[in-house]
Structure 1
Amino acid sequence: MDLQTLITLTTGVALLTCVLAVAGLHTYARGRAQRAALVDRLSHTGRPALTGRRRRFRTLDRRLRRTNLGRTLELKLTATGLDVTPGEFFAYMLATVAALWLIGQATLAPFFGPLAGLLGVWAAVQFLNWQRQKRIERFINQLPELARILANATHAGLALRTAIGMAAEELEAPAGEELAKVANQLAIGHSLDDALQELAERLPSRELVVLVTTLVLSNRAGGQVVGALRNLTETLEERKETRREIRTQLSQVSMTSYAVPALGVGSLFLMNGVKDGALDRMTGSPLGQGAVIIAFGLYAVGFVLIRRMSRIDV
């Protein structure tokens, strides 16, 4: 083999190696992107597919997701089922805080601007908690029907995994969406125990814990799933009616807990309306500012105590 042939052969092998390396890197990158998209869609957020609307504040959203605050906020939004990104919610919250700050400063006194801003942050957190609790309540109301579908499916000879997928198709949101996530997790290799435990962590409630425990134990021990689910269906129906009666009885107490701080804030507007500039003079000294802070603290304590006393766990 002469030198020219060796050079040509070496050059050809080098070019072929480069082409294969580029093709391999392209295939690897495309596979990683597809896997990341699949995991993000099926098991990362846990919420229904986002609509096709144009997302706002994308740069803020990307930066926020890298922080602990952003990850915590994303988990809270996932539990609420809202079609809002962490960046959008954070931007809306900042806008609300700024608006309340300016309104409190303009209508009452400059001292009340920061207090109104803190009120905006508290209202945003309470809004997320309220949305999350409302979603949990809707899910709890669907649990008897869910247990009934699973019992009928397993009685017909279907596997529990198949029964969960069928229930996800038949039930409406939020149960259908949450079960669809469980079915998707099972499809990508998660165990039934892990998928159900994650469901119980996303929507914590005693009724769901009982259902998940029943399914997990029956799956591990190979017990009679049908009988356990049918007995559980009756129990969940009774608890559903009991919870509805308790909510009706305590509705007036719940309204009182919100009326108490509302009266306090209303008295400030009344005081400033009776004598213009009264709040400016009152908050112009450290003693007056301390009195206002103590008053707001007492209203907050009263709100929390009323809510705690009216909470009855069934």
Structure 2
Amino acid sequence: MLLTLLIAFLSFVILASLGYAITGGGSGSSAALTKRTQTIGLGTSTRAKHRQKAQAKTPEERRKQISEQLKEAEKRERKARLTLRARMLHAGLEPDVAKFWIFSAILGVVAFFPPFIFLGQMPVWGRLLVGLGASFIACYGLPRWVLGMMAGKRVKKFTEEFPNAMDIIVRGIKSGLPVNDGLKLVAKECHAPLGPEFQRLVENVGVGMSLDGALEKMSERIPAPELRFFAIVISIQAKTGGNLSEALGNLSNVLRARKMMGEKIKALSSEAIASASIIGVLPPGVGTMIALTRPEYIAPMFTDVRGQLMLLGGAVWMFMGIMMMRKMINFKF
């Protein structure tokens, strides 16, 4: 009986030892298997990253990246364009907002008094309304309109010379020069505003700023789509590699084709622009001619309350019509 119990106990110990050995070996194998699986997974993820990088160099992926960056740049430009400081930068002026408001206030005060001098037949409240309207236009509208014209003229001059700058950079790269030397050539050879802007770009890069950051600063001063295209091409080429001279050469061709398309749109829409201009100028022009030839005929429009209300309503409707026609003939490409 004792021998049977001893045999059973030894058998239990042997079986337990075998089970522990098998269990321990299984855990070791499981750990090894887990490690091997993680290694395979890391290899798979590494290969996936390589595939993503390879896909990023394809033309489709590049076009997708360019489209996304253009949308982001357009959003930033819309926000920046609303500020007065940005408009002054676009016009090439020192962004001194306080001086601008002081100058606008002086213009508004000066424009307030001529209606009281030249419209003596009108009642006081009528002259007051006309004076306030003239003051508002001179204080708020006229300076911003002049600022917008200066900015538009400067940006237009920049975009006209920009494809030539691309050609200079492309020829420099093909001859073995680095990109920074090509930018220096543009700063030296091109006229304002292209040359000074590229000179500032070269100076910013020289003090340690990245080329992408310097181009972003340049885009704040020149809100031109052509400059955004150039910045995006440089940014993508720095990340994914590729033939920069070919990319910039294609960009130069696209910019020239874009300019030709703009001139074609302008030629096709010239009739609509002329018609809108004639329609907008005709009513005040006819009123001025009648006032010069038959002042007694049109005098009740300024002296009578009903005539003044009619003039006010006509001015409001004319303003709305001119804005609507401007919206219809303002083609963007």
TM-score of the two chains, using structure 2 as the length reference: 0.62
Q: Which amino acid aligns with 2:137?
A: L
- Give the secondary structure class of the aligned counterpart of 1:243: helix
Q: What's the CA shift string for 1:82-101, capped at 9, x where partnerless? A: 47954554444334333333
- The equivalent of 1:40 in structure 2 is none
Does 1:200 pair with 2:224? no
* CA-based RMSD: 3.0
Counterpart of 2:320, as a letter, is: V
Q: Is 1:93 aligned with 2:104?
A: yes
Quote the residue 1:148 is aligned against: 167
Structure 2 Cα separation of the partners of residues 134 and 81 of structure 1: 10
- Give the 3 Å change call, closer, same or farther, for CA 175–82 of structure 1 in structure 2: same
Deviations along 1:243-279, whole A, 9 cap, x unmatched?
A: 2233344345445555555445456656766237535
Name the one with the larger helix percent.
2
Q: How many residue pairs align between the two structures?
A: 241
| Cα drift, residue 141 of structure 1 | 0.7
| Distance across 1 between alignment mates of 2:131 and 2:202 | 49
Give the letter aligned to residue 203 of structure 2: N
CA displacement at 1:179 relative to structure 2: 1.4
Residues 1:250 and 1:128: Cα distance change in structure 2 (over 3 Å)? farther
| 1:147 CA drift (Å) | 0.9
Q: Secondary structure at the match of 2:177?
A: coil
Q: Answer whether contact 1:147 1:229 (CA < 8 A) is retained.
A: yes
Pair 238,72 (structure 1): closer, same or farther in 2 beyond 3 Å:
closer
Distance 2:88 2:246 in 1: 36
1 CA distance for matches of 2:105 and 2:185? 42
Instruction: Work out the percentage of aligned pairs sharing the same amino acid.
Output: 20
**Residue 123 (structure 2) pairs with residue 118 (structure 1):** no
- Does 2:209 correspond to 1:190? yes
The equivalent position to 1:239 in structure 2, one of 249, 258, 266, is 258
CA-CA distance at 1:171 after TM superposition? 1.0
Deviation at 1:199, TM superposition (A): 2.3
Partner AA of 1:118 in structure 2: F
Aligned residue number for residue 180 of structure 1: 199
Measure the CA separation in 2 of the matches of 1:301 and 1:100.
23
Q: For 1:250 and 1:98, locate their aligned partners in 2 and report how far apart those are by CA, in whole Å.
A: 40
Cα shift readout 1:95-141 (whole Å, capped 9, x = no counterpart): 43333332334334413111122222212211111211111111111
- Deviation at 1:233? 1.5
Task: Name the structure 1 match of 2:300.
Answer: 278
Unaligned runs of 5+ in 2: 1-81
- 1:182/1:195 contact within 8 Å kept: yes
- 1:140, 1:207 within 8 Å by CA — same for their partners in 2? yes
Distance (whole Å) between structure 2 residues aligned to residue 182 and residue 223 of structure 1: 23
- Note if 1:129 corresponds to 2:142: no
Q: CA deviation at 1:172?
A: 0.8
- What are structure 1's unaligned runs of at least 5 residues? 1-70
Q: Map 1:61-100 to 2 at 5 A.
A: 72-82=83-93, 86=97, 89-100=100-111
Distance change >3 Å, CA 84–CA 99, structure 1 → 2: farther
Contact 1:272–1:279 (Cα < 8 Å) also in 2: no
* 1:163 corresponding residue in structure 2: 182
Whether the 8 Å contact between 1:155 and 1:226 is mirrored in structure 2 is: yes
Distance 2:271 2:102 in 1: 35
Within 2, Cα distance between the matches of 1:104 and 1:256?
32
Alpha-carbon displacement from aligned partner over 1:170-213 (angstroms, at most 9, x marks no partner): 11111112212222221222221122123234322332222221
CA contact (8 A) 2:205 2:214 kept: yes
Deviation at 1:228, TM superposition (A): 0.8
Identify the residue that residue 306 of structure 1 maps to in structure 2: 325
Distance (whole Å) between structure 1 residues aligned to residue 106 and residue 246 of structure 2: 54
Give 4+ residue runs of structure 1 displaced > 6 Å after superposition.
Answer: none
